[in-house]
Amino acid sequence: MESSKQVWSASEGYPGDPVYREFYRDIGYDLEYDYIRPFLHDDGIRVNTGIKYYRITGATSNKEPYVPWTALEKAAVHAGNFMFNREQQVGYLAEFLDRKPIVVSPYDAELFGHWWFEG
């Protein structure tokens, strides 16, 4: 459960960090319709393009620009933190078990690269 919270929770886990890319803001909806129209399907319905200029920066619609290299640096820090915490968890569990502990951390694949772009 502990490893799941760190990776899955947007409120207390890594994906909610304000340097990460905002999933819900996309130029397909953010740009003026006349500007984006030539890039839409023939039916003219707005779609997510995958081009996202903003980072999470909180719950309001006022978002800061997304800086990919800053987000990747933060992802590396979070990866190191995740491994450190798993090592601590294994060390703690080893005190109570008669064999070497294994930590299983299953996640919904939709999280990685989608909800949490850098994950």
Show me where the domains of the chain are located: 2-94
Residues comprising the chain, all counted: 119
Residue 110, strand partner residues? none
For residue 83, the SS3 value is: helix
**pLDDT, tens digit (0-9, with 9 covering 90-100), for 13-58:** 898 899 999 999 999 999 999 999 999 999 999 999 999 999 998 7
**pLDDT, tens digit (0-9, with 9 covering 90-100), for 73-92:** 999 999 999 999 999 999 99
**Residues 8, 109 contacting (CB under 8 angstroms):** no
What does the pLDDT read at residue 1? 64
